Structure 1
């Protein structure tokens, strides 16, 4: 988020949540208890950072379980897709994460076209996007 933008865009929040779900799926596939614990903490931290007002204990638990359920579904589907295509689960999950980021980038570009000249924007992870020239092409 830039200084000009005091409220995150819904697309950015959605992308962040999508990446959290993919992270949960990766942790589930790894079978590593430490990775699962870290992923669950990431879910809690993300929920805490995305809400404007404190949630009730029940609301927070529901959101955390919803994100974990999304991770479980993503893990199952990525495993099935990996088996069907002969690719690794890691490759499938990496593709899912790229899709989340790509959708956010498209939303940023659409908003940039609506706002006039392109300018620097941040993605869900807080990384600056590449600069664009006058024709809207990425510059190195």
Structure 2
């Protein structure tokens, strides 16, 4: 990938620098619902064998990894957009993000984990229900 291009404007630079990597509003909403349902989990749990990667919400005993993916950064099929400025760089960057997500899923699955990916636009209650089902299934198998 080419070097990071200059921001197209100061406003764009300011917006991008404020983007949270963890503890986003959708992630916190889902975590609160899971906690209210009696589930306990780890936050930003480092993935063994993969440097600089972590699980957003990890149920370590049940081996369920939950990722709350942003529509822009993870190329949501419904809401993905790409900036017009520096189009080639962004296309490469977002493609690498998708490839990294797939490699992370594969790594965790090979280690016996269930992977749940939630989009930021999903209803938090429905997402929590999906996660609860996976945790319950996994606990029943172990």
Please report the TM-score for the alignment, with normalisation by the length of structure 1. 0.32
Please report the TM-score for the alignment, with normalisation by the length of structure 2. 0.31
Answer 1 or 2: which has greater strand percent.
Answer: 2
Answer 1 or 2: which has greater helix percent.
Answer: 1
